[in-house]
Amino acid sequence: MNRRMNRRRLLGSAASMWLALAAAGPAQAEPAWPNKPITLVVAYPAGGTSDLLARILSSQLNKRLGQPVIVENRPGAGGTIGTGYVSHAEPDGYTFLVGSSSPITIAGALYSKLSYSPTQGFTDVSPLAATPFFLTVNAKTSLHSVKDVIEQGKSGKLNFGSAGSGSPQHILGEMFNVATHTHMQHIPYKGSGPLLTDLVGGQVQLAFESPVVVMPQVETGKLRALAVVGAERTPLFPDIPTLDEQGVKGLDVLPWYGLFGPAHLPAAITNRMNAAVQDILRMPDVQSSLRKLGAQTLLMSAASFKKMVDRDIDIWGRATKAAGARID
């Protein structure tokens, strides 16, 4: 009797469990990524290098991922508004930042308050391109070499312009002062456009600027490019020597653009997006478009990109603090 009762109980429990599972239906699997539009946030106005890079990526990612990829501009506060927006987005693979290095590598030391953490607020997905800066002088000056700049810079009579206080151009100038024991005076401008006007006009004697800004004037003979900032010569202008070749050590920083997601982005999404972006960067048409911007492609894994970002946060952060640049 007891055996029959135990058997009935077991059968009853099994039947109840089966009915419950049947009512619940099959387990719901995670939907495949992506299954809806993706947004590329640009932290600067339309028309700049970040915006152009985002639009190049957008058209190609559409084809590779099978979903619309939308570019959304969120400019302001030196790129920190759009950058912060992405930092606080859901890490689900539908919001990315196409950003320049400044809001990541310089902003932490430059701003007393930020809405995000440059070191912990992002997933480093892929580098995009680098734009090496040139030490460029007005062609009417007596500055024909880096040696000339150092000799005259020690007198305190030289000045250099930048796109604004705390900009990479400003920090590079201060790094040069420290490395060469010069005393060049900094003159900030509201962007590279006004700076270029005064550099060509002779109101400032030199600047550290990107090739897309200065090379047209170098080609017309109004400006003179003396050196490339970086560890190696750029293949875009191979005849221009580096600062390192001319005796100035330690300025091997390279302003870059990259793709970031919010912190804790799943590795599978990070790696798939990195692979797609790297394939796009290898396309001849894309490389040609980047050359016209004075930029060169950066090809590396997400892990290697993170190492580069971490290194540059340290280098630019220390240089910014040494320069005394601060925005409260």
Interhelix angle 211-219/192-201, rounded to 10 degrees, is 30
Distance, CA of 60 to CA of 287 (rounded, Å): 13
Are residues 147 and 123 both part of a single domain? no
Residue 9 lies in a domain: no
Q: Is the pTM above the cut of 0.85?
A: no
Residue 42 lies in a domain: yes
Distance, CA of 219 to CA of 66 (rounded, Å): 43
Residue 30 lies in a domain: no
pLDDT tens sequence across 147-169: 999 999 999 889 999 988 778 88
Residue with more model confidence, 287 or 5: 287
pLDDT tens sequence across 262-282: 999 999 999 999 999 999 999
Range of the domain at 225: 134-246
Q: What is the CATH number of the domain that holds 159?
A: 3.40.190.10
pLDDT tens sequence across 23-70: 444 444 456 999 999 999 999 888 888 898 999 999 999 999 999 999
Are residues 239 and 268 both part of a single domain? no
Residue type, 288: S
**Final residue belonging to a domain, choices 246, 271, 288:** 246
Distance, CA of 169 to CA of 24 (rounded, Å): 61
Q: 211: phi > 0 → left, psi -120 to 50 → alpha, else beta; which? A: alpha
Are residues 54 and 69 both part of a single domain? yes
Are residues 165 and 193 both part of a single domain? yes
Residue 187 lies in a domain: yes
Question: Of 12, 97, 94, whose CA–CA distance to 51 is shortest?
Answer: 97
Are residues 226 and 161 both part of a single domain? yes
Distance, CA of 170 to CA of 153 (rounded, Å): 16
CA gyration radius, the chain: 26
3-state secondary structure of 43: coil
Residue 24 lies in a domain: no
Question: β-pairing, 134-138 with 206-209?
Answer: antiparallel
Confidence (pLDDT) at 9: 52
Are residues 217 and 161 both part of a single domain? yes
Q: 76: phi > 0 → left, psi -120 to 50 → alpha, else beta; which? A: left
Are residues 230 and 287 both part of a single domain? no
Domains in the chain: how many in total? 2
Are residues 144 and 239 both part of a single domain? yes
Are residues 88 and 148 both part of a single domain? no
Are residues 200 and 275 both part of a single domain? no
Q: What is the CATH number of the domain that holds 317?
A: 3.40.190.150
pLDDT tens sequence across 180-239: 999 999 999 888 889 999 999 999 999 999 888 898 999 999 999 999 998 888 888 899
- Give me 6's structure tokens: 């135990």
Lowest mean pLDDT among 13-17, 143-147, 208-212: 13-17
Residue type, 303: A
pLDDT band at 17 (very low <50, low <70, confident <90, very high): very low
Query: What ranges in 181-301 are assigned the alpha helix state H?
Result: 192-201, 211-219, 267-281, 284-292
Are residues 241 and 259 both part of a single domain? no
Residue 28 lies in a domain: no
pLDDT band at 328 (very low <50, low <70, confident <90, very high): low
Question: Of 169, 137, 164, whose CA–CA distance to 152 is shortest?
Answer: 137
